[in-house]
Amino acid sequence: MMAQINVTNLTFCYDGSFDNVFEDVSFSVDTDWKLGFIGRNGKGKTTFLNLLLGKYEYSGNICTQMVFDYFPYQLSEGQKASPAVDFMGDLKAGCEPWRVFCELDKLRLPQEVLYRPFSTLSHGERTRVMLAILFSGENAFLLIDEPTNHLDQEAKDVVKNYLRQKKGFILVSHDRDLLDVCIDHVLVLNRKTIEIQKGNFSSWWENKSRRDNFSRKENEKHLREIGQLRQSARQSDRWAQKNESTKIGRDPIKDHDYKNGSRAYIGAKTKKMQSRVKQYERRMEREIEEKEGLLKDVEEVVDLKITPLSYHKDVLVLARDCTVGYVVPARWKTPGRGAPGAGDLEGDFAPGGERVIPGEPGFEMGEGERTVLRGFNFELRQGERIALRGRNGCGKSSFLKAVLSRMGQDMEAGLFVRGTLAVGTGLKVSYINQDTSFLKGDMKAFCRARGLDESLFCAILRQLDMGREQFVKPMEDYSEGQKKKVLVAVGLMTPAHVYVWDEPLNYIDVFSRMQIENLLLKFQPTMIVVEHDVRFCERIATRIVEVKG
């Protein structure tokens, strides 16, 4: 018989916050489900996982016999510098190497990755090693938080096919393709409620769209009825007031039949009319009360705006036989540490203690240089939206930085470009970077430092469904999705000839992704984008360019 996780009357609020993250929430989950967790950024998905892990105090009950384990594991600096085989027992009690080897085989990774320093592994390798450790035990319900962020399509496909074969987990993800393949139930944080439904993302979205459409029509009908009631109430009130005014004064010509008893009669008639008005008002109040909150869970995807500029030439960016790389200040090698056949590994630190860039498979090492992209040909014409696709480390982001450096932007030190890379003179660019670590301090100071109109900036964030209460928080306390929305808002506010976006959707919720898709399809800006969300690229890109590295 399957076990259950029963949540009853759960209420939780962070210290110092005015609003509850959860309020009197109740639901049950079977522990053999493959449960997708869906909701807006900042609505409490990661918070709920932490409540299951027992990290916060709460009111209500979470009742289960299950043990929980969480991905991604939080590693110390010492662990990052060590091979995973040395610390995987610390991450998962009773973890046996042979079980991890079996999981690595399903994740299409060689065993030797466990013997390499964790910091030298790529994003995809790190994710798969952690998943192998996570699934190497038994009798645990697994909490998997955004496993495919920063992964290229090949690594994402491996993780997707791996999770499809598993069960007994909650998966937090905003990737629609991943959710469709890997889950059989959805747990949804709506605006005011929590719901559980059988099926994957697409089946839930279809049901939700149908339900939201019905709610909108019912709401329109409700508003019409309320309008009619109000009109009747106003008319009755006018009649009552008019009658009331005739109680005292009279026109001897018009009111020639006025008698001493007429005043009492008029008063009674007025009182009756006023009673009718009160009845109308009470009826309206009941109607409003019954219909109140009809649209409380309807996701209204607000249309965003962007200001693309027109350029006087057709070709904006041209690359011919372009090579991009970095100057490495020091280069040294140590004997390979790990399984036989691992070969030489690039050292983490030079003898003098200076940090150097680890070598990566497929990268050509020159004397003091690391070439990441060679012989690349590219052309961006006005109105095109080109998505760059390729494996992690193939040079996609480096090419974007090279283009930006040609446009006069300050980019990474040591970046070099050889061959032809030409950009139009005077091009204005809107750039969204992957990095959010620099977002610190309050929003007012952030806008002032960048010359942004604070009220407009906050209005765009509100359209991206960030609550007003977030505007008074330090930015370092934002969730990763909220930080990314800050960068997107800056990008949308910047009038530009070319929009250069580097993984803009990492951590951003499904609803906001759809908003951004609709925006780009409506305004059709000229764009170069690196993004691993397959459905996003299929919808918005006019052309996909493969980058081989």
Which of the pair, 100 or 241, is modelled with greater confidence?
100
pLDDT score, position 328: 73
- 275 band by pLDDT with thresholds 50, 70 and 90: confident
- 85 band by pLDDT with thresholds 50, 70 and 90: very high
pLDDT score, position 361: 43
**Given a cut of 50, is residue 344 above it in pLDDT?**
no
Distances (CA, A) of 301 to 104, 298, 485, 519: 40, 9, 15, 11
The string of pLDDT tens digits covering residues 124-146 is 899 999 999 999 988 789 999 99
> Average pLDDT, stretch 256-271?
59
CA atoms of 496 and 493, how far apart (whole Å): 9
Q: Could you please report the per-residue DSSP string of 272-292?
A: HHHHHHHHHHHHHHHHHHHHT
pLDDT score, position 220: 78
Which segment, 32-41, 185-194, 212-221, 231-240, is predicted with the most confidence on average?
Answer: 32-41
pTM of the full structure: 0.72
- 211 band by pLDDT with thresholds 50, 70 and 90: confident
236-258 core/surface letters (b: 16 or more CB in 10 A; e: else): bbebbeebbebeeeeeeeeeeee
> Average pLDDT, stretch 310-321?
95
The string of pLDDT tens digits covering residues 41-51 is 878 888 999 99
Burial of 334 (0-12, 13-18, 19+ CB in 10 A): exposed
CA atoms of 120 and 347, how far apart (whole Å): 9
**Given a cut of 90, is residue 216 above it in pLDDT?**
no
The string of pLDDT tens digits covering residues 393-437 is 889 999 999 999 999 887 777 899 999 999 999 999 999 988 898
Residues of the chain with pLDDT > 90, as a percent, come to: 54
pLDDT score, position 427: 94
pLDDT score, position 327: 86
pLDDT score, position 301: 58
When mean pLDDT is compared across 331-340, 364-373, 452-461, the lowest value belongs to: 331-340
> Average pLDDT, stretch 303-318?
92
Which of the pair, 285 or 296, is modelled with greater confidence?
285
Question: Residue 261: which residues within 8 A CB-CB, separation 6 or more?
Answer: none
The string of pLDDT tens digits covering residues 248-262 is 555 555 555 555 555
Q: Are strands 369-381 and 315-327 parallel, antiparallel or unpaired?
A: antiparallel
Strand residues in 179-233 grouped as ranges (E): 185-189, 194-198
Residue 230: how many other CB atoms lie within 10 Å: 13
pLDDT score, position 95: 87
The string of pLDDT tens digits covering residues 61-73 is 999 988 999 999 9
